[in-house]
Chains A and B, each alone.
Chain A
Amino acid sequence: MTAPTVRFTDERLANGLRLIVAEDHLAPVVAVCIWYAVGSKNEVPGKTGFAHLFEHVMFQGSRHVAKTEHMGLVQAAGGTLNGTTWLDRTNYFETMPSHQLELALWLEADRMATLLDALNQENLDNQRDVVKNEKRSSYDNRPYGQWFHKLQEHLFPPEHPYHHPTIGSMEDLDAASLGDVAAFFRTYYAPNNAVLAIAGDVDPAQARAWVERYFGEIAPNPKIPPLGDMSVPPTLGGESREVIEDRVPLPRHYFGFRAPCFGDPRLDALEVAAQILAGGKGSRLYRRLVREERIAQDVAFFALGFVGGASIAAGQATVRPGVDPAVVERAFEEELERMALEPVTDDELARARALIETFELEALQRVDERADRLAMLATLLDDPDLINRQLARYLAVTPADIEAVAAEVFRPDNRVVLTYMPEAAPATHGEDEEPAA
């Protein structure tokens, strides 16, 4: 089985916009994905959550597009769309029937060029309320909902840009002003801070002409402020633990580690290790903790790649009723540490490779995934061609590579352990209270 090569062109407009076009006519579908090199890591204290709030404002119209019209035009064209914000980036994407490509490019250009014309207090206040409700439903009103924010706090020091959550705090969201929004736009939403990827049923010459037409005249910002030094020591330097009482029925551990940066081949080895540890029913953690010892209800382990100093490797195990959480923690940690002490078996590695190959082929079938990866690799690593080498890199990982990265990462002095415990029933919930029904 060989992975199909993603052929693409890669160029820069005079104003610095990087354009990547990958042509493929299998389906009458085209994906447009634009990555801005700005994420929650660019936020300063007192203004957390700003990059993400701004992402919402980007859907509130621009000079030639009314509020809610962006969504309306794309949907009426038979397209799908969204935007996301993360530590290292903000991206916006549309997947369209291929004859509607020009509309998507125009919409992206109009908001890159003229967003501030449509910005007003009413729209900002409305989207601030929407974002506060997003925070409530995605984190605050969800059992175990703050785990990732807690890992960020423990893994990065307070002055580090990865220390705070992308969603921000309610106080900072409340404090965001129109002036902040305008300044943020002028600073970061410039063509020379963006990568535009187009993948699918497209005539590259035509696409290039449209991009030149709609984006070519947008002025760059020559003074994008560089981020400070984000480097951190490769390990935490001591175990960090927290017990959290929450409205949860079962205890759960979350584990976090500093890990090599996105793009580092050691992170590939760590991802293969994660597959062997927790990728499905044949994996080590599932086999031991869930199936054989029956001490955990579920297990997971994965790596989240970041470019600013360290990635995060994270795991979780939900404790079965009646089991001592300490027993689950010990078993989980033993399996991680075992990766550093003895080589994985040939069969384990062969199974992990075969599965990773299928996952990669499956993901790259879709034009939206291809566009997103090309833009991501160009933005974060200046290496879009890695899309064609990544699978080979995973398949080249050896047992020795896994042992080495496990020895670096899975150390007690590089470990965060969060333990969620069911909170004691509040007094108002006493036995003397009758159900109202």
Chain B
Amino acid sequence: MTLEEILAARPSPGQPRAYNFPGFERTVLPSGLQVLAVHVPGRPLVSANLIFRVGAADEPADRAGVTVLAARAMTEGTTRYPGLELIEAAERLGSTLHADASWDAFAASVEVAASRLRAALELLDELVERPTFPAEEVSRLRDERLNDLLQMHAEPRRRVEQAFSQTIYTAGSPYSRLAGGNESTVERLTRDELTAIHRAVLSPDRAAIVIGGDMTGLDVPRIAEEVLGSLALGGSRAPAAPVAGRAPTADSAVERTTVRLYHRPGAVQSEVRIGHVGLSRRVPDFHAVQVMAAILGGLFNSRLQLNLREDKGYTYGVGAGFDMRRGAGPFGVRTAVQTASTVPAISEALNELHRMRDTLVTDAELAVARDYMVGVFPLRFETPGAVVGAIGGLFVNELPDDELARYRGLVEAVTAQDVQKAARDHIHPDRLAIVLVGDADVVGKDLEASGFGDLEIIREELSGEVGEPGGHGVGE
């Protein structure tokens, strides 16, 4: 055969190898702590993630940022290991201790050789149970957070994200803030408040430790019980506990489409976010929504990418999707476009939002999205860390244990009608926030004339006072 003949024939796929998401074993210790162990054979490292189902969305508005700061300050020393001794002890095991909080969870994790699992869990227990929150280090971390906020204001893509959240949510929603808190609340945080939130978070009956790796020769439930059996029993249970199933407030502040432009003189691109309050992870039509979002802005060849990048060349990349949390996280189109193309790019993005609602996706579009999501599933879970992360997500969102085992079947069952219904139910072009960081002197007039919605231009200094539109003061 000639090369031409060989290349003219497209290969067809072989027989897929069976794949099942690894099953995990649940053991509930007398304290209430759940031990979720998953065997991922042949891997030299074990991942362990200790999760408390309470996060930044549960903290009081006037102390916004306290949960994230408390989590990060835990590595600053414990009763047994003052100062950096805890970090050093972990490093001797070849391991790094991570502690952080998100909107929905407060977590500490470690990755270590299987033979050192017990020693690493002992450090994890020490970290979570007995941090001392030295006042000096707390004030340093607080200052670092404030400096990071300064940096954030200067970085267009971080600035636009913050402005977008602040625009779409009412001030009463935690999601209008940053999970790490804004200037006005962070600057007031003290060691006492960190200690208090830590005590409030720590309760074994909303905690799980997820451990994944090659379990050959390891009795993980027993090791977990011996090391973590009394974890957090001294914590108080009531104050910070979210009521099961109750989601944080996530009301929309936008009633009809509005445009908000943060002025950056001379910016060569406009950072653009278009969207509104989206969905909780527990939304019943989750799989249809994910297929819809993939077609709109998730795949490399999504409608938005094909239009704004491959056809028009306005951008290096554009995406869209739902950031699903315990409460309704944001839905947004995200891109950065060359300044001169700002208005046409927004116009095309809006067209794509309408088109998702107005017409059925084609069979080919549906097939690519479903086949991608089903086919890439095993690739996502190659390592213990990824498997542990996914199981942790089930625990945090209180989803059924077989959620991941059922995932591919449910994705395959999504129809074009399901996709259109998801778009109509969950995308609302009449009440979008269009938020930009860009050069108002260049794009302001065109935006005004575009008819997208009422335009508000915010001119702010970068390193001094941050100007905010009325009614949306930082952190309130």
Contacts and interface: CB of A to CB of B under 8 A. Distances in A.
B461 A75 contact: no
B378 A27 contact: yes
Contacts of A127: 313
Contact of A100 (B13, B92, B153, B381): B13
Interface stretch (B27-35, B275-283, B367-375): B367-375
B3 A113 contact: yes
Interface string A210-239: 100110011000000000000000000000
Interface in B83-130: 84, 87-88, 91-96, 111-113, 115
B445 interface: no
A49 to B, nearest CB: 14
Interface residues of B, number: 94
Given A72-B368, A76-B371, A28 B154 contact: no
Given A63-B7, A141-B336, A351 B88 contact: yes
B400 interface: no
Contact of B470 (A101, A141, A437): A437
Contact of B375 (A26, A79, A140, A429): A79
11 contacts: A26-B42, A100-B14, A129-B313, A137-B315, A142-B155, A281-B84, A297-B144, A354-B95, A355-B94, A357-B94, A437-B468
A437 B458 contact: yes
A294 interface: yes
Contact of B154 (A249, A351, A435): A249
Interface in A345-369: 347, 350-351, 354-355, 357-358, 361-362, 365-367
Contacts of A126: 310-311, 313
A160 B7 CA distance: 40
Given A64-B8, A99-B17, A143-B154, A28 B378 contact: yes
Interface of A: 1, 3-4, 26-29, 63-64, 67-68, 71-72, 75-81, 95-103, 105-106, 109-110, 113-114, 125-134, 136-138, 140-143, 201, 210, 213-214, 217-218, 247-250, 280-282, 287, 290-291, 294, 297-298, 318, 320-321, 347, 350-351, 354-355, 357-358, 361-362, 365-367, 422, 425-426, 428-429, 433, 435-437
Given A64-B10, A425-B461, A75 B44 contact: no
A95 B378 CA distance: 11
A71 B299 CA distance: 9
B456 interface: yes
B147 interface: yes
Contacts of B267: 141
A80 B376 contact: yes
Closest 8 CB pairs of A and B: A78-B375, A129-B313, A354-B94, A99-B14, A28-B17, A351-B91, A249-B463, A102-B11
Contacts of B381: 27
B316 interface: yes
A201 B378 CA distance: 12
Contacts of A4: 44
A358 B147 contact: no
Nearest to B93: A354
B92 A78 contact: no
Contacts of A218: 3
Given A76-B372, A133-B337, A355-B94, A114 B7 contact: yes
B101 to A, nearest CB: 18
Contact of B379 (A95, A129, A282, A298): A95
B7 A281 contact: no
A293 to B, nearest CB: 11
Contacts of B452: none
A56 B113 CA distance: 40
